[in-house]
Structure 1
Amino acid sequence: MSVPASERLLLLDSASLYFRAFYGVPARSGGPSGTPTNAVAGFLDMIATLVTRYRPTHLAACWDDDWRPQWRVDAIPTYKAHRVAEDAADGEDVPDELEPQVPVIAAALAAIGIPRIGAADYEADDVIGTLAMRYRGRMPVDVVTGDRDLFQLVDDASATRVLYTARGGVRQPDVITQAFLEEKYGVSTGDAYLDMAALRGDTSDGLPGVKGIGEKTAAVLIREFGSLAGVREALAAGDPRLKGARRSNLEAASDYLDVAPLVVRVAHDVPVGDLDLHLPGDIADPAAMSRLALDHALTGPFERVGSALRSD
């Protein structure tokens, strides 16, 4: 069944956005509850801005049910190890004033009627990857995140973009298309970006990469050999283009390169079931919204979200 061209899916990397809100919005009174609410208010204002600007017909708030899945840690033990809280064996190091706001954000999404989607043993990135692939070709997909890992999903043919918030926030995001990837990183597709990222590594995620191979060199290798698999095939075949320190470093990183694609690639098959992602035309549960607004002094942000939904 064909889908009207006006339909659009917006996928939110929720933690990326509420962390940004927490650090970007000044501390504010939490109302009678006493809970800080700067991250909640900022997150709701982000939703209002995104709905107003991009007019999605479908929207999902993707959630980290497991921010550091064991299957990724088993493959690369350093994966996100530096983010583990000192007082918890497997808990993420979250600021004290942010932690109590996360359940309020979840309750706010429920009151609005925006599905919050996570899955056991998977990160929000994996949920995003699964939904992006599910809807690819059915309607344009915009992924809203401050995480470069999700650039791997960019695909012009299916109108899959990333609205990258790291610099300009949701008001002025970088719009990541294949042309952007080519200009900025020297790779022409999302798949090529994934291979480049595996070679380069990422210290923010505890991924060591290959010694001596930074972003530019990784991109050159992917362009020259077509893919990470092509690089490794050439290495195994003794290709003379790979020599000296570069060859030695690639050979020394063989074990890492065996597992890096598994860790870096977002899952495309997370068991999230059949979901209704249609954006509601108004606040779904006004009574729940009113309770949250009064308890946490969030009347303004909720009103802005409601206005955006009705305008949409």
Structure 2
Amino acid sequence: MPGLMLLDTPSLYYRAFYGVPESMTAPDGMPVNAIRGLIDMIAMLVRQHSPSALVACMDADWRPAFRVAAIPTYKSHRVAEGNAEETPATLVPQVPVIEQVLDAVGIVRLGVPGYEADDVMGTLAVRAKGQADIVTGDRDMFQLVDDAQPIRVLYTARGVKNLQPIDEAAVTAKYGIPGRSYADFATLRGDPSDGLPGVPGIGDKTAAALITRFGSLEALIRAVDEGGELTSGQRAKLGAARDYLRVAPTVVQVARDVPIPELDLSLPAGPRDPEALTALAERYGLQGPLGRLSAAL
């Protein structure tokens, strides 16, 4: 069903960077593997799904202050000099070119100061007046699936050619939890890739069982406080992690109230700035990918 498609742009260009050989270079020898890969991904998504609106969501702040204030270890292992994110050296110069290409094509590129791409996607998804598809390789976005809205994730774990549609039933089938409970489940089990410790001693199966039984993290914490049906071991582990559980939702939950102005998100039928796009194609040797994207549009 045509509707709004939201791209987790950093997730996609990282996938392109690692999936396309660095032997793909511009005429001057600069690697353009992430650029070429991302352009081809967008062309494929447009061809296969025919969205009426498309937004390339960006990280204006990859490690927002409000999340670090809640849990200082949030993404701390990925911090490089000057609080920047550790990024492969040959990817760094490609990101500005990706931005220039998106702007010349006329695809809305949106980042909001103080927020991650996840938060931009979450806000736009819940505001959508019809179907919203989120294209990402980040499981955190599973918390947004909502059959009633409807919002689904097109998960890239097997590649953009083999997207896995994730709805509430898919979340339940994969994790054994209610379809919209992924954030609570992720809070309990933690996520080392984001520096979230989780509750020590509570793994995937126990986290799923607890969230399924109590329905929400809030209800589970209330059971700890009020003597609900928990084993002595579970009560001890959850009680010891009370401080973490109090602040973790601020970090784990995707923001849905990012201040985003009214924008025309329509997918362009042709390049917004053909001259700029031609110059970029020649400068970086992108004639093939940009031709395929133009044809898809």
- Which TM-score applies when normalising by structure 2? 0.98
- Residue 16 of structure 2 aligns to a residue whose secondary structure is helix
User: In the TM superposition, what whole-angstrom CA distance separates every residue of 1:89-128 from its partner, at most 9, and x where no partner exists?
Assistant: 3000000000000000000000110010001110000000
2:8 corresponds to: 13
Contact 2:188 2:198 in 1 (8 A): yes
- Residue 213 of structure 1 aligns to a residue whose secondary structure is coil
Shift of residue 259, structure 1, vs aligned partner: 0.7
2:143 corresponds to: 152
**Counterpart Cα distance in 1 of 2:85 and 2:206:** 33
Which of 244, 253, 257 is the matching residue for 1:256? 244
Shift of residue 29, structure 1, vs aligned partner: 4.4
Deviates more, 1:27-36 or 1:64-73: 27-36
Shift of residue 189, structure 1, vs aligned partner: 2.0
**Counterpart Cα distance in 1 of 2:109 and 2:170:** 30
Contact 1:36 1:97 in 2 (8 A): yes
Which consecutive unaligned segments of at least 5 residues does structure 1 have? 1-5
Percent sequence identity over aligned pairs: 55
1:275 corresponds to: 263
1:130 corresponds to: 123
Contact 1:118 1:272 in 2 (8 A): no
**Counterpart Cα distance in 1 of 2:16 and 2:257:** 30
1:64 corresponds to: 59
Which consecutive unaligned segments of at least 5 residues does structure 2 have? none
**Counterpart Cα distance in 2 of 1:282 and 1:33:** 28
Report 1:41-52 matches (<5 A): 41-52=36-47
Contact 2:2 2:49 in 1 (8 A): no
- Residue 271 of structure 1 aligns to a residue whose secondary structure is coil
Report 1:1-312 matches (<5 A): 7-85=2-80, 88-135=81-128, 138-166=129-157, 168-190=158-180, 192-239=181-228, 241-309=229-297
Q: Which amino acid aligns with 2:121?
A: I
- Residue 83 of structure 2 aligns to a residue whose secondary structure is coil
- Residue 197 of structure 1 aligns to a residue whose secondary structure is helix
Shift of residue 216, structure 1, vs aligned partner: 1.5
Please list every run of at least 4 consecutive aligned residues from structure 1 whose deviation after the TM superposition is greater than 3 angstroms: none
Aligned residues: 297
Shift of residue 66, structure 1, vs aligned partner: 0.3
Q: Which amino acid aligns with 1:289?
A: L
- Which TM-score applies when normalising by structure 1? 0.93
- Residue 35 of structure 1 aligns to a residue whose secondary structure is coil
Contact 1:34 1:296 in 2 (8 A): no
**Counterpart Cα distance in 2 of 1:177 and 1:98:** 32
**Counterpart Cα distance in 2 of 1:291 and 1:57:** 27
Q: Which amino acid aligns with 1:171?
A: K
1:3 corresponds to: none
- Residue 162 of structure 2 aligns to a residue whose secondary structure is coil
Contact 2:46 2:296 in 1 (8 A): yes
Contact 1:132 1:160 in 2 (8 A): yes
User: In the TM superposition, what whole-angstrom CA distance separates every residue of 1:70-98 from its partner, at most 9, and x where no partner exists?
Assistant: 1100100110001111xx13000000000
**Counterpart Cα distance in 2 of 1:226 and 1:145:** 26
Contact 2:126 2:149 in 1 (8 A): no
